[in-house]
Every structure is written in C-alpha cells, then in structure tokens.
Structure 1
C-alpha cells in the first residue's frame, strides 16, 4: 500500500479558529470557521485572553480556494454544526464565553437557519461554556447534543451538565441531561446492532452511552480523564473506536462483540481531534504543557492503516491545532486544519488547507 503526504493548497486568515465545518447548500460549497478570540493590542499573549466578541466566518469555495461569504455573531466561538431537518438547513454555533475579560461563560449559543441566501438566527439557547453541538438521527428522531461546562472553583456553583435536545417540529427542546463537568465532544455511531453516543469530558470519565429505545444509558467508560474527541472506522472485518486525550495517551479500541477493548496506544500527548479518510486518519494536536505557558507549535500526524495498526506516514505542523475536516475535490481529497494560536500564543493564526496525496 502506498504511503501518503499532505501538501499545502491554501491558507485562510482566522483568529482563534476552533473548528472547520464544510457543507453544501443550494449549490454553494461553504466552510464555517468559529473563532474563539481576537488579539487585543498591548496585552500580553495568553491562550485564555483576547477579545471574545467574535464572528463566525462562512466562506465560499471558488476555483482558487475560499472567499468571504458571510459573518454571523458567535462570541467565543468553539464549534459549528451544519445539519438538515427535512428540507430545512441549520447551522448551530457553540459559544464558550463572551467579553474581553473578565469573561462570562453564561451566554447564548445561536442556531442559524438558511433562508435561501444567508444564515439568519433561528433559536437562541442558554449555554455555559459551550464546546460542541452534534446533530444525529436516532429512530427517525432529530437530536442536537450540546457538550458544555467548565470546572473551576469560580464556576462550581454555576456549572451545567451536557444536554441532548430533540426537535419537536418547531424548535429544539431539552430531552436528556448527560452528567459532565468539562465536556468537549460527541460521536454518534452504530456497531454490533447497537446505537451509541460517546461523550468526551476533561475531568469526568469520557463515557459511551447506548440507546435503549427511550434514552441513552451508560455502557462503558472510555477514558478516565482528559477526553477530547472520538472517531470510528471499520477495517479487516473489525470495528474500531479512537479516543483522543490531551494530557493522557490516546488509544485505539476494538469492538469485541460486547464492549470496546484496548487494541493499541498512540504515541504522544496533546491530541484534540481526529478526521477519517480511510485508510488514512489525521490526528490534530492542540498544546502541550500548562495553559499558562503552553507549547503550541507541535507536529500533528497522518496515520495509515497497515497490518492491523495505525502507522504514522507523515507529520504536518500545527500551532494550537483544533480540528480537521476532509473536503471532496475532483483532483483528490483536501483537508482543512484549523489553528487557534500562533507559536507565540497569539490568536491570529491561519487555517490551512492541504491536498492529501498518495505517493
């Protein structure tokens, strides 16, 4: 099997970019990028600083790359999730905070709806340190899961659990709370005749929930602490689950017919997100070290499935890397990678688009 490489294709100016969400609507190929913060002139660099009264960028694909299409308010932007309910199209934005310091984690995260030419506000949801939305369909029902919360001495009395919302025909309404303290991510998938929802938490265990026909019930713990993201793939007649952890080793688990068991441990710390384009998998690393003095300039990895293992076949530079998404292209797949910080811990870092090439 041939190895692969990533070659740079284009760059997009962004500030504290936390995610990349590609989607198509009404013949347009768009890319949404939420932004955590802008740099404030005269302030010392800090990954927890900056001006968080930010906009989410929506860019349109053209022959040479991406061009500005729309900006919508999404303060302290952490995530954007595009999805459809029937013939309606929505873009949910997650806001971790607002302000320029001191910051307020109690804020609104806005769900936008496509009106045929632009995204307009549809529903405002009260959230606390929102990190991610994930839309999924379960038994024909539309759900929108919110990962939220931050566990500090100053927030302990106001912190909130993660929440799964359900579409009631007019709006998204609360359906089920998921216990959490510092939640980051979700992943919905099916394996072994079961429907699962994985939930990542930094402080509490990251846990796998199973749909029992009425609600999601705990199935197994996936990581004790430091959870960030998940990815699934099928290879060699087996089902696998990747668990990304930032301050603990990330692991590859294998379905044994009842539970996921450890198959392999990935080298290195700092993992934030995975993207699958099988037989290749991208791992994006965020930071290493304390948040007060983080090392942001790290190598992230491109893996290839070989002989029952994930083997690193290439590395690519990231600075505070946060997300990756595969973009289809007639000349071969592209990969968008968001960088949220520069090497000197400023927010004005570029989102980079690579060409994924076999060689």
Structure 2
C-alpha cells in the first residue's frame, strides 16, 4: 500500500482557492478553516481524486485531525468529515464529535444489506477553545485514539473494519454529512488519511503536539517569523529603490561590502495577524461594543444586547480578561456611547423598541463614584434609535441621536441636544430631517465642525442622498449632499494632509425600478476633500457586500481601512476586507 499521506483538507482548497463557505481564521498562533453550513455540498470532492488507482478504502489506516472545538450543546453531534455514497444518504465512513465523546462510523457491506458500526471513545474532552490533534488508527477489529500524543485509548469491537469498502461514486465532505444538521462549528487545520500504518510514532516526535504536522494546506501554514528588532533591509548599493538617486549617508550607517557603500535602513513594521484572545459570553445577540476607560477605576466594555430580558451587560477588565460587572435593562439596544463633560462620566444607550409600558426612550447613565456603577440620569424620547454621537463645539457639549423610523414612517427628524450647565440636562438644540438614518459622524477641519448623516431608506428606495452639515451661527446647515445606497456608516480619516470620508453602502433597492441581480454586491465609496472646490469628491469605489461599517487605523507609516461585510445575497459568512493605502 502507498504510504503517502492523503491530505483531505487540501483537496477542498486546490491551489489555495477557498471553496464557498470557507474562510481562514487564526487563533492562538495557528490558522484553521472556519466552515459555513449554507452550502454543505460545496465542501466536498469526489473520492476518486484521492483514490486514483483503486476504488477500495484501505483496510488499515490512520486519520490525523488537528482541530479547535467550540462549546456545543450537550445533546449535539458535529461531523468532522464524512465519506458518502452519491446515490443515497449512507455515511460510508465518518468522524463525529459529541460532548466528551468521539464517534468513528463505518459501513460494513459484508453483512446482509449492510450495517453501520459506531466505535465510541468516551471521556474525550475537546470543548476548551484549544487546539488538539487526534490520531485514529484502524486495523481490523482494533481501533486506537491518541489525543495530543498522550496515552492511546484502545477499543476492540465485534465488527471489523471492512476489507473491501468501495469508494466508487462516493465523495468526501468536510465538516458535514451533506446536510446542515450536525455541521462542524469549530476550526479545522489538518485532516489527513495515512493508508497502511499507525501514524502515532510518526506524529508524536515532538513535545508540542501543535506543531505535529503531517500535511497542512499551504494557506494554513505558519506565518513567517517576525524580523528581529535589529534586523535591517539593504537597498541596492548606492541607490534608493524609490527615487533612484544616490543616497548620502552619514558615516555611521555605512557597511563594509564588496560593492560601494550603501545605506542600511530599518525594516518597516508590518501588520501582524490579530489572534483570538477571549470569548466574551454576552446576554444575547450583540449589536455593538463600546470600550472605554474610567480614570482610576479601570477598563470597561459595554455590550449592546438585542433582547430586552436580561438587558445589556457591562464588563470590566480584571486579571487579564473581561468579566461581567453590571447589567442594565435595555430594549433591543443598538449602541452605547461613552463621553465625559468636565468630571462627569456618562454612558448613553440607543434603544430600538418600546419598554413594557409602551414608552420609547433612550437613556443616559451617569457613573456614580460612590456606588461604582452607572445609574440612570436622563431619559430622552427617541424613535427606533440606532446610534448616539457625542462631540464638543467651542467648549459646549452636544449629543446627537439617530432616529431610524417611527412606526412605518422612515422620514422623521433626528435630534441634536446641547448640554445645559445650569440645569445639568441635555436640551433640544436642533432637529434635522433624516430618512431611515443609521449613523452620525462628527469631524472637524481646521476651525470648522461637520456632522454627516447616513440615510438608509425613505420608505420606497435606498438610493437616496446622505447629507453633510457644517456648524454656522449656532446650528448645523447643509454643506453637501452625496448619493448613497442604503448608507449604514460614515468614517472620516486623515492621511497626511489629505482628508477622506468613506461611506458603507448596504444594499440597492428601489420599488420603482427593476430589481438588480444582487441587491447586496454594491460599491461603497471613498471621498476626498477638495480644498479648492470646497467639497468632497469621489476618490475610489470598492466592491462590498452589504457593508455595515468602516474603520480606519494606522501602524507606523502604513494606513489601513477595514470594511465589515455582512451578506452577499446568499450567505452571511462573507469575508471582511482590510485595505492598505
């Protein structure tokens, strides 16, 4: 028998091209595939691609799996992989995980009309959000499971593994049995079939099972090591690669070499990969997170939770992680906003639905230094509030709420409130007509203050204008209107002396025009301020998929813009993209 490892995982990503429903995710320094249950068949391939010269599964073999399992319900089973006949739903062979158990399934055709045998390995606990490597060795009636190169668990069963299991017209399926039920929700890094041998001695030659690799897809292999802190880059001797002019270097940066002296320049810091650090268990579906620091108290995170009971939670950083600190009653909370006025500390929640008395309020909470928690301070009438924006103009504090709709009417006023230092309350300063608004974004350019609204839907169309306002003579006045398509977010950012404004367009819909082929695959746009024309002009279009948010950040000399894609018209499991300027 050919002892060449057969890499099942790599067959699903030939040439590194991810199948629909797959994405690469990194946790604890290792990459794995996260799978989507939307199209189980897309995560399969014919067995004939592995078994080229023979259509029989080997009698003796090992299966090597490196995976990271999430917590799953106590009665739920998840399939790591299956081998299934195309003409019927029979699982010819499969590996399945249940809480504290591993099940190996195989179809014995040597019995009358066939029979599925299940070999169970109990007391195998993997639901700890850690990486684990499993080695299953099969030979006749003997089955052995080794977890993380520990002592093997041996089982001998009455029904031996078949000597002639046909794989003709059969297919392998990754993380499923051709159905959504029982889909694998964790991460897969390695899935290898090694015919004719027990792979345990071959794999367990290192003390760290995480690096025990028999065959891992190229796209998942380890990242290149970071350059040492004193590592340098050499430019072509005597010339700059950027300007192609001689470099004039002080004597302390010259090096001895066979060619003329050249400059030795430090390596630029590049974007590192972000690793998963903590799973934060929230009360319900989380619509937004606000992270803030209260001086001399600590770091906090407020989660805007969708469901009214039990409300939304505030977490405090303690001993290297966020822990529950305070629970606040909310009503389909959409967002939190932290802000300060002098020494006063506030946290405002945008409630989307009415309370149990039929009243619709969003609430501002004030931090009590004596009680060391947030207490209700001021209730403000709102209408399906989506967001708050806090800002200061000429020393005065303002708070703007985004009202999305009132009943079925999306064309309503959003409100800007001004802080009254005498009464200690926010009072209405100005109302601005908005259409299904999602977001306010405040920014300044020199001495001027601006506020831009993301209008989403006017009742018949998402193809509507969003507006930029400028502060003049004590109120905001219209500065510029930009055509948007279900705008969900604005992000302002600076690169050097240049000023940009990016809009996240969520979908294109108009009841008066024919439906497009895809409502959600649509350009989001970046605009740049033209000082001469005194307006924002389009700089670049980027294809997005129901984009809901932009965030800008920089590292060293590099500038990045990340978009949150949410839906491509077929699945919510879509990649969000980081762009570099």
| Structure 1 length-normalised TM | 0.74
Match of 1:120 among 323, 342, 358: 323
After superposition, the CA RMSD in angstroms is 2.9
Say whether residues 1:285 and 2:285 are aligned partners: no
Note closer, same or farther for the CA distance 1:288–1:164 as it changes in structure 2 (3 Å cut): farther
Matched, 1:260 2:476: yes
Superposition pairs for residues 174-213 of structure 1, below 5 Å? 174-203=376-405, 204-213=412-421
Q: Alpha-carbon deviation of 1:324?
A: 1.6
2:524 maps to what in 1?
Answer: 300
Q: 2-side partners of 1:13 and 1:159: how far apart?
A: 43
Q: CA deviation at 1:40?
A: 7.3
Question: Partner of 1:269 in structure 2?
Answer: 485
Tell which structure's C-alpha radius of gyration is larger.
Answer: 2
Residue 333 of structure 1: SS of its match in structure 2?
A: strand
Give, in whole Å, the separation in 1 of the partners of 2:38 and 2:562: 28
**Residues 272 and 166 (structure 1 numbering): CA distance in 2 closer, same or farther, change over 3 Å?**
same
Q: 2:430 maps to which residue?
A: 220
Query: What's the counterpart of residue 278 of structure 2?
Result: 70
Alpha-carbon distance between aligned partners in 2 of 1:143 and 1:237, rounded to the nearest angstrom:
26
Q: CA deviation at 1:319?
A: 1.4
The answer to whether the 8 Å contact 1:185/1:199 transfers is yes
Separation in 1 of the partners of 2:454 and 2:363?
21
* 8 Å Cα contact 2:520-2:568 kept in structure 1: yes
2:451 is paired with a residue whose SS is strand
1:89 is matched with which residue: 275, 299, 302?
299
Secondary structure at 1:181 match in 2: coil
Q: How does 1:20-169 map to 2 (within 5 A)?
A: 64-74=272-282, 75-87=284-296, 88-97=298-307, 105-150=308-353, 158=358, 160-169=360-369
The structure richer in strand per residue is: 1
Q: CA deviation at 1:64?
A: 3.3
How far apart are the structure 1 equivalents of 2:24 and 2:477?
39
CA distance in 2, matches of 1:161, 1:189: 21
CA 1:271–1:296: 2 relative to 1, 3 Å = same
Between the aligned partners of 1:78 and 1:339, the Cα distance in structure 2 is 15
Which among 345, 351, 356 is matched to residue 576 of structure 2? 351
8 Å CA contact 1:130–1:149 kept in 2: the answer is yes
Residues 484, 505 of structure 2: 8 Å contact kept: no
On the 8 A contact 2:435/2:456 being kept in 1, the answer is no
CA distance in 1, matches of 2:24, 2:454: 24
SS at match of 2:320: coil
Q: CA deviation at 1:290?
A: 8.4
| Structure 1 residue 236: Cα displacement | 5.6
2:142 corresponds in structure 1 to: none
- Does the residue aligned with 1:69 lie in a helix, a strand or coil? coil
CA distance in 1, matches of 2:309, 2:23: 28
Cα gap change, 1:290/1:158 in structure 2, threshold over 3 Å: closer, same or farther? farther
Whole-Å separation in 2 of the counterparts to 1:158 and 1:350:
39
Change (3 A) 1:349 1:41: closer
Question: TM-score scaled by structure 2?
Answer: 0.47
- Partner residue, 2:160: none
Question: 1:222·1:243 contact (CA, 8 Å) conserved in 2?
Answer: no
What CA distance in whole angstroms lies between the structure 1 residues aligned with 2:482 and 2:306?
Answer: 29
Q: In the alignment, which residue of structure 2 is the partner of 1:29?
A: none
1:124, CA displacement in angstroms? 1.2
Q: CA deviation at 1:189?
A: 0.8
Q: How much does 1:84 deviate?
A: 0.4
**What does the per-residue CA deviation read over 1:84-131, in whole Å, with 9 as the maximum and x for residues that have no partner?**
00140001111123xxxxxxx544211111114111111111211110
- Tell me the distance in 1 between the aligned counterparts of 2:454 and 2:277: 33
Instruction: For CA contacts below 8 A with separation 6 or more, give which structure has more relative contact order.
Output: 1
Structure 1 segment 323-338 matched on structure 2, within 5 A: 323-338=549-564
Query: Which deviates more from structure 2 when the two are superposed, residues 316-325 or residues 141-150?
Result: 316-325
Query: Which structure has greater helix proportion?
Result: 2
